[in-house]
Every structure is written in structure tokens, then in C-alpha cells.
Amino acid sequence: MAPPELTTTTDLGRRGRLSRRLLAWFLLFSLFPLLVTNAIGYRQSEGIIRQLVERYLTAIAQVQAQHVRDRTDRAILLLQAVAAGNEFLAAGALRSQGLPTGVMGQAASRIEMERLLGRKLDELKLFDALYLFTPDGAIAASVGLRENLSTSLPAHEATGSLSAILLSTPRGVRPMFRLVVPVHGRQSVPVAFLAATLSLDGFRDMLQAPDRLAGHVESFIVDAGGRPIFVSHPHDSVNYAEPLVTPLLALPDGAHEQYRAGDGALVLGTIVALPDYEWRLIAEAQTDEAFGALRRLGSLSLLLELLLVAVLIGTAVVVSRDVVAPLSRLVHASRRVA
């Protein structure tokens, strides 16, 4: 018969191996399905929430783009109301070019035209300057802020247009906005153009848009070169002279992308076209806000899973001991009988 000490040591080794096997199988069949189910559920929830956020962002961007279009159309209509059928301004423009003007041209001097434009500027209370310029680029009359008056012909001479011009200021490069409408003569041909200027702050007042929509959603209007010309939430970190740092500029309208914004925050953004303009609008939402609740739920679920693992391991150890100990005694007894 083998010595008792040797038998006890061998039995303890076998008992330990059996306990570990039972513990491993117990954890495999109890925890693995739970962990897999939670992981799949989290990924599915994240995908659903991401789709909802993307739709929500697209809807906000489209509404904002239409709002910008409506407000700029309103400003152009106000300017057109001043120019439409205004024979006085048409005669003054012709007179400044030395062309025949008729009876109206005798009274349409530069001083009188500026008086008229000055009254209109006070009535509208929207523009920083009003000025009349001829097709050859000469200014026939001007009131308000008379610096940086552009006399380049508009893109759409027959209707009205809005453009942005980048200017160097003491605060750095800033955009200035110019609205232009034609002034028609008797031949229904533009004899001059009536223009109005808006500073960045004036353009913001014209849009009447809040700094941020729906929490931390921030909007940018970029020109054809990708340079920002308007930011819904003004801050000094925006460089108006350089293209906006975002992969959305290389993507088609309606695309979505997750990236690091200029301030380092991780954002989810989308880009849409501004109707009838070469501008595009970008809307960004911080992922911490969009997916914050889901991530907190995921962290809580992971913590609960770890606690469950600890409880199951403790339970499995106790159960395996209660199961393995009698079996070991039975095996030992049967060997002694043998």
C-alpha cells in the first residue's frame, strides 16, 4: 500500500485539476454568451444612435442653409426695392459717365444721389454702406462706410448677388459681404449697380441665427475654396484666411464624417450646399454630447459585468469544491478497496 502522505498529495493534485476544469467550463458556458450578447447589443445601439445623430445633423444643416438663403434673399429684395424703377439713380449714373440723361439728369447730381442713398440707409438700418457704381468700375455715389468698396461686376448682372470678400483688419483677416443689384435704364439694360456692404457682425445680425443650435451643434459657412466666411459661434480660433480643417471639404454634399475639430474636440459633422450659392454649410456636433449617454451606459454595463464575473467565480469555486471533494473521497476509497 502506498504511503498515506503520497496518496493525499496525488489526490489533492487531481482534485485541483478537476476543480479548475469545472470552473473553466462553468465560466465559459455562463459568462461567454453574456459578454458576447452585451458587446453585440452595444455595437447595434451605437450604430442606431449614430444613424439618428447623422439624420438629426443633416436636418439641422438643411434648415440652416435654407434660413441663410431666405435671409440673404430678403436683404437682396430690400436692395432691389431701392433700385427698381428708380429713374433718378439711373439718370445720375448716366450723368456720371457723361451720357445723355434727359430731364431727370439735371437734378441727379452726386450730392443729391448721396442724399437719397443716405435716407435709404437710415430707413433700412441693415447695411454698413450703400453705393452706386457704373459698369466701368467708377463710383457714382456712396454713403456710410466708404472703405473697401468693391466695384467688380456681380456674377449675375441681371438679378442680384451676394459675395464675400476677405479683408485685412487689425484683428486679422475678416470677411466683408457685398450685395449687388442692377439699376436699369429705359432700355431695360443695367446702366449701373447698387451695392451694399455688411461686416461680419452685420451679416450675423442679418441672419438672426443663434450661436449654437440644439446644444453644442456649431455651423460654418465656407466659400468655394473651403475658407470659413461665417461661424455660428464666434471665437478667435477660426482662421478666415485658410481653408477649414475638416475632411468634409473633399466629400460630396450630404456626407458625414467623424474627425478632430480645430479645438481638438472629437466631432461628427456633415456638409450641405447652400441653394444657388457656391457656399457650403458644415454642421458639427461633439461626440461626447451625441454619444455620451450611450458611453456612460456602456461603462456601467462593463462594471456590472466585472462584478458579475467576480460573483460567479466565487460561486463556482465554492460549488466546485462541494462537488469535487466527495468525488475525490469516493475515488480514494475505491482505490483503497481495490
17, 20, 117, 276 from 142: Cα distances, Å: 96, 92, 7, 28
pTM over 0.85: no
| pLDDT exceeds cutoff 70 at 213 | no
pLDDT at 102 over 90: no
Give the pLDDT of residue 113: 92
The pLDDT, as a whole number, for residue 2 is: 45
- Confidence grade of residue 100 (pLDDT, cut at 50, 70, 90): confident
Residues 26-55 have a mean pLDDT of 74
Alpha-carbon distance 266 to 149, whole Å? 40
Of the candidates 234, 217, 245, the residue with the CA atom closest to the CA atom of residue 58: 217
- pLDDT band of residue 190 (cuts 50, 70, 90) is confident
Q: What is the pLDDT of residues 290-305, one digit of tens each?
A: 666 666 666 666 677 6
CB 90 within 8 A of CB 103: no
Is the predicted pLDDT of residue 16 greater than 70, yes or no?
Answer: no
Q: Is the pLDDT of residue 117 over 90?
A: yes
Whether 92 has a pLDDT exceeding 80, the answer reads: yes
pLDDT over 70 percentage in the chain: 75
> What pLDDT shows up at residue 53?
83
Q: Which residue has the higher pLDDT, 94 or 237?
A: 94
Confidence class for position 6, pLDDT limits 50, 70, 90: very low
Model confidence band, residue 307 (pLDDT cutoffs 50, 70, 90): confident
Calpha distance 335→333 (Å, rounded):
5
The pLDDT assigned to 54 comes to 85
Length of the chain (residues)? 338
Q: Mention every residue, 6+ apart, whose C-beta is less than 8 A from residue 131.
A: 117, 139, 141, 142, 143, 144, 146, 149, 194, 195, 196
* Predicted confidence (pLDDT) per residue in 239-279, tens digit: 888 898 899 999 999 999 989 887 778 888 999 998 888 89
For residue 281, give every residue at least 6 positions away whose Cβ sits within 8 Å of its Cβ, in sequence order, or none.
61, 64, 65, 68, 219, 220, 221, 222, 271, 272, 273, 274
Tell me what pLDDT residue 5 has: 45
In the chain the first and final C-alpha atoms are separated, in Å, by: 10
**Angle at alpha carbon of residue 52, lines to 47 and 55, rounded to 5°:** 125
Q: So what's the pLDDT on residue 147?
A: 86
Question: What mean pLDDT do residues 15-38 have?
Answer: 64
In angstroms, the CA 204 to CA 250 distance is 27
pLDDT for 28 beyond 90:
no
pLDDT of res. 207: 87
What is the per-residue pLDDT for 7? 45
Which residues are bridge partners to 267 per DSSP?
259, 286
Per-residue pLDDT at 169 exceeds 90: no
* Average of per-residue pLDDT across 312-318: 68
User: How high is the mean pLDDT of the chain?
Assistant: 80
Q: For residue 24, give the amino acid letter.
A: A
Does residue 143 carry a pLDDT above 70? Answer: yes
Q: Nearest 5°: CA angle at 126, between 166 and 117?
A: 95
